[in-house]
Amino acid sequence: MRTVDLAKSSRRDLNAALHEVQHNTNETYWRVENPAGQHALAVGLDAPVTVEIAGHVGYYCAGMNQQATVVIEGNAGVGVAENMMSGKVHVKGDASQSAGATAHGGLLVIEGNAAARCGISMKGIDIVVKGSIGPMSAFMAQSGTLVVLGDAGDALGDSIYETRIFVRGKVASLGADCIEKEMRDEHVLALREILRAAGAPDSVKAEEFRRYGSARQLYNFHVDNASAY
């Protein structure tokens, strides 16, 4: 294990060293101490490494991640795992706005709550929030899966495309073109697999969730729907 103390080293030095791992793959386990809410930690990784960050992080932690596993032992600021392509990001606390924004793949797990616009414009990522999410989550979400063990705020799935949303708790309101859909056997099976990968408790059953998705009425502009855009 390689340990980097950000009280002694700079964020730039940390990220540069992590980027070199793809050329030096024997250093596959890293621990970052004293992050002190710094922004843009562990961004742009592209190697099968594990990075544990011992504390809270600021904006855009683990952004553009590929292959790596990033564990945040605290809360995360705006845009955690933004534009992630693959790998896993695990937030052990709460996440601020736009968690997993525009992400194309991989798994984002948030043990606590996520603020507004969780999964905005997501494009293939699986996001599991074990708490609740704020308003406008999955806004313009294109593909992937958003799973919420708690409640969802207003305008869930506004202008959604083909992302699947599963919510165990209450939904304050649905956004434009988002509707509740039938929970069929194939959805239960797929959800079980995602819950297993996210380490959800055995007491959480896939059958307890409701499914939401696109009504497919706003794919193409039609003047009769102008007020909904």
pLDDT of residue 1: 87
Q: What percent of the chain is predicted at pLDDT more than 70?
A: 93
- How far apart CA 50 and CA 28 sit, in angstroms, is 6
Q: Which helix (H) or strand (E) holds 185?
A: helix 185-197
Contact present, 39 and 56 (Cβ < 8 Å): no
pLDDT of residue 228: 63
Q: What percent of the chain is predicted at pLDDT more than 90?
A: 90
Phi–psi pair at 56, nearest 5 degrees: -80, 150
Q: Which residues contact 226 (CB under 8 A, 6 or more apart)?
A: none
The residue with tokens 């980097």 is 4
Q: Name which of 106, 108, 113, 165 is nearest 139 in CA terms.
A: 165
**76: helix, strand or coil:** strand
Q: Name which of 97, 136, 143 is nearest 122 in CA terms.
A: 143
Burial 114-126 (b: 16+ CB within 10 A, else e): bbbbbbbbbbbbb
Kindly report, residue by residue over 116-159, the tens digit of the pLDDT.
Answer: 999 999 999 999 999 999 999 999 999 999 999 999 999 999 99
What count of other Cβ atoms lies within 10 Å of the Cβ of residue 167?
25
pLDDT of residue 218: 75
Kindly report, residue by residue over 21-36, the tens digit of the pLDDT.
Answer: 866 667 899 999 999 9
What count of other Cβ atoms lies within 10 Å of the Cβ of residue 76?
31
**Residues constituting the chain:** 229
Burial 41-70 (b: 16+ CB within 10 A, else e): bbbebbbebebbbbbbbbbbbbbbbbebbb
Kindly report, residue by residue over 143-155, the tens digit of the pLDDT.
Answer: 999 999 999 999 9
Contact present, 212 and 180 (Cβ < 8 Å): yes
Whether pLDDT at 113 is above 80: yes
Q: Name which of 210, 109, 205 is nearest 157 in CA terms.
A: 210
Kindly report, residue by residue over 54-86, the tens digit of the pLDDT.
Answer: 999 999 999 999 999 999 999 999 999 999 999
Q: What value does the mean pLDDT of the chain take?
A: 94
Which has more confidence, 208 or 225?
Answer: 208
Which has more confidence, 216 or 115?
Answer: 115
